[in-house]
Amino acid sequence: MGAPILVDNADLAVKTLGVCRIDSPLLPLLGERPTTQHYIDESDKVLYDDTALMISSRGVALDDLPGFEPAGPRRKIYFDPSKTRVGIVTCGGLCPGLNNVIRGLVLELTSHYRVRRIFGFRNGYQGFIARYGHDVVDLTPESVANIDEDGGTILGSSRGQQDPAEIVDCLSRMNINILFVIGGDGTLRGAGQIAREAETRGEKIAVVGIPKTIDNDIPYIDQSFGFQTAFGKAAESIRVAHAEATSAPGGLGVVRLMGRHSGFIACYATLAKSNADVVLIPELPFKLEGDGGLLNYVRRRVAERGHAVVVVAEGAGQELVVGQPESTDASGNRKLHDIGPELSRRIKEYFDAEGIELNLKYIDPSYVIRSVPANPYDSVYTIRLAHAAVHAAMSGRTEMVVGRWRRRFIHIPIPLAISQRNQVDPAGDLWMSVLEATGQPPRFE
């Protein structure tokens, strides 16, 4: 049986604004380097398939094998640096490393390419829209020098739909040639619209994204920046919950972590601090009642060990919260019901009804995990993504994001990056590791 063919070369082709005629200022650094494990030449590609079955199922010649365009500096670039004007914007929820990306972009643009004008647009896509009255910020090596020491984003962020035509009007008025967009799936949808609006008008504006998501829900990326910092911080809450639970009779810690549609934070935080007994993720519905239900399992676990810790991702068990109104945020994302308190209430009720002592401590680190500065791993990762984004934009790539696929830095067309959501695969080895670490059954049903 052949493996399914997921994408082909047409899906992976990145748009360019035109022929590159200008020698890159980085040329002296580039030399003649062959592709190795540590470097990939611009003429090469990073293969999409990496198993023999996937490759053989295509029945194609090597040239036709789908491969991502590698990131990195090009020998020829599209934009003349001395005349290039750049914009940077951050949108959506916070993520560790946003300031690192801004800093990395500014330093690479100025130090190597000698770009002179870089504008920071304030408060997400609102920053382009005149009626909001947000000033633009001049970004210089001096103004970004130490911003990586702080969480958040010096530019501010926002949610809420803005008109791509108005955004392109603004970019044209300001003669901006390159726009760097740092944001999640919604932001990248917006970035795609901006790139296409510019294209329709015949404007040569490169729109390059740096995908941001603590939920790690953007596909075709090994892991998103800030994710490691976020789950590391989340793991501290699991440790706290465990300490509380083990220090009281009938101790139970319930930890609610972010993750709307993807349970990666819950899984990784649990594996990082493997003393949770149960992990609940949005990808796997669960039943509370009955022999195979969660309540019975938690009761048994507390009886056997004297304590237990339950980790629940915010998008898990939404169907269990009834009678609350449905709503959306400014960007149209569904606002989730708060599963943490509801789950705690149901567990308490159950233990009360069974007449079993319970000392439940509820912990929700909430925004703490995403507003902290990037850890050293994410600091390295963000600066490398920023470098890759600058090289891509200067060479005229557009409607694309930078990413890392199997440890290689690559270019991903925006339509592909927003084509689906990255989720924990209940049949995959990550979830298997979670089951191994917690000892919980594969399903509560």
Residue numbering of the annotated binding site for substrate:
213-215, 258-260, 314, 367-370
How many other CB atoms are there within 10 angstroms of residue 105's CB atom?
30
> Considering only 72-80, 87-95, 138-146, 409-417, which stretch makes contact with ligand ATP by CB under 6 A?
87-95
Do the Cβ atoms of 156 and 105 come closer than 8 Å? no
The residue range among 64-72, 173-181, 185-193, 432-440 that interacts with Mg ion, by the rule CB under 5 A, is: 185-193
Least Å from the CB of residue 260 to ligand F6P: 4
Instruction: Enumerate residues 6+ apart whose C-beta is below 8 A from 274.
Output: 437, 438
Q: Considering only the stretches 6-14, 97-105, 118-126, 254-262, report the one whose residues sit in contact with ligand F6P under the rule CB under 6 A.
A: 254-262
Q: What is the DSSP string of 373-433?
A: PPPHHHHHHHHHHHHHHHHHHHTTEESEEEEEETTEEEEEEHHHHTSS-----TTSHHHHH
* Catalytic residue of the set 148, 215, 217, 378: 215
Instruction: Pick the piece of the chain touching ligand F6P (CB under 6 A) from 34-42, 47-55, 189-197, 252-260.
Output: 252-260
Say if CB 262 and CB 421 are below 8 A apart. Answer: yes
What is the Cα–Cα distance from 159 to 334, expressed in whole angstroms? 13
Establish if 67 lies at the interface with ligand ATP (CB under 6 A). no
Residues 58 and 5: beta-carbon distance below 8 Å: yes
d(CA 288, CA 317): 9
Task: Choose the stretch contacting ligand F6P; rule: CB under 6 A; options: 111-119, 239-247, 256-264, 390-398.
Answer: 256-264
Compute the least distance from the CB of residue 276 to ligand ATP, in Å.
Answer: 24
Window 109 to 128, contacts with ligand ATP (CB under 6 A): 124-125
Q: What's CA 256's distance to the chain center, in Å?
A: 19
If the CB atoms of residues 159 and 387 are measured against ligand ATP, the closer one turns out to be: 159
Question: Which listed residue (258, 294, 339, 347) binds ligand F6P by CB under 6 A?
Answer: 258
| Residue numbering of the annotated binding site | 93, 159-160, 184-187, 213-215, 258-260, 314, 367-370
> According to CB under 6 A, which one of 314, 393, 438, 444 is a site residue for ligand F6P?
314
β-bridge pairing 307-313 and 278-280 = parallel
Instruction: Give the integer Cα–Cα distance in Å for 217 and 389.
Output: 20
Residue from 69, 108, 185, 244 touching Mg ion (CB under 5 A): that is 185
In the residue annotation, 378 being an active-site residue is answered as: no
Contact yes or no for 96/375 (Cβ under 8 A) = yes
Selection from Mg ion, ligand F6P, ligand ATP, none that 411 binds (CB < 5 to 8 A by kind) is none
Binding residue for ligand ATP, selected from 153, 158, 382, 438, defined by CB under 6 A: 158
- Helix (H), strand (E) at residue 312: strand 307-313
Query: Rounded to the nearest whole angstrom, what is the least distance from the CB of residue 318 to Mg ion in the complex?
Result: 16
User: Residue number with the shortest CB distance to Mg ion?
Assistant: 184
Backbone angles phi, psi at 145, to 5 degrees: -50, -50
From residue 179, give the alpha-carbon distance in Å to each of 23, 161, 186, 221, 400: 22, 18, 16, 21, 11
How far apart (Å, rounded) are the C-alpha atoms in residues 225 and 385?
9
Q: Tokens representing 21?
A: 């005629």
Nearer CB in complex with ligand F6P: 213/344: 213
3-class SS at 54? helix
**Which member of 49, 148, 215, 378 binds ligand F6P (CB under 6 A)?**
215
- Report the run of H or E that residue 349 belongs to, with start and end: helix 339-354
Q: Which residue's beta carbon is nearest to the bound ligand F6P?
A: 93
Give the pair of three-digit tokens for residue 441. Answer: 């059954």
Estimate the crossing angle of helix 98-111 against helix 376-394, to 10 degrees.
40
Q: How far is the CB of 232 from Mg ion (least distance, A)?
A: 22
Note whether 184 binds ligand ATP by CB under 6 A. Answer: yes
259 binds Mg ion (CB under 5 A): no
Does position 184 interact with Mg ion (CB under 5 A)? The reply is yes
By the rule CB under 6 A, 338 interacts with ligand F6P: no
Beta bridge partners of 16: 397
Residue from 337, 370, 387, 391 touching ligand F6P (CB under 6 A): that is 370
Q: What is the binding site for ligand ATP (CB under 6 A)?
A: 91-93, 124-125, 158-162, 183-187, 189-190, 193, 213, 331, 333
Interface with Mg ion by CB under 5 A: which residues? 184-186
Residues lying near ligand F6P in the complex (CB under 6 A):
92-93, 184, 214-215, 258-260, 314, 329, 370
State the catalytic residues. Answer: 215
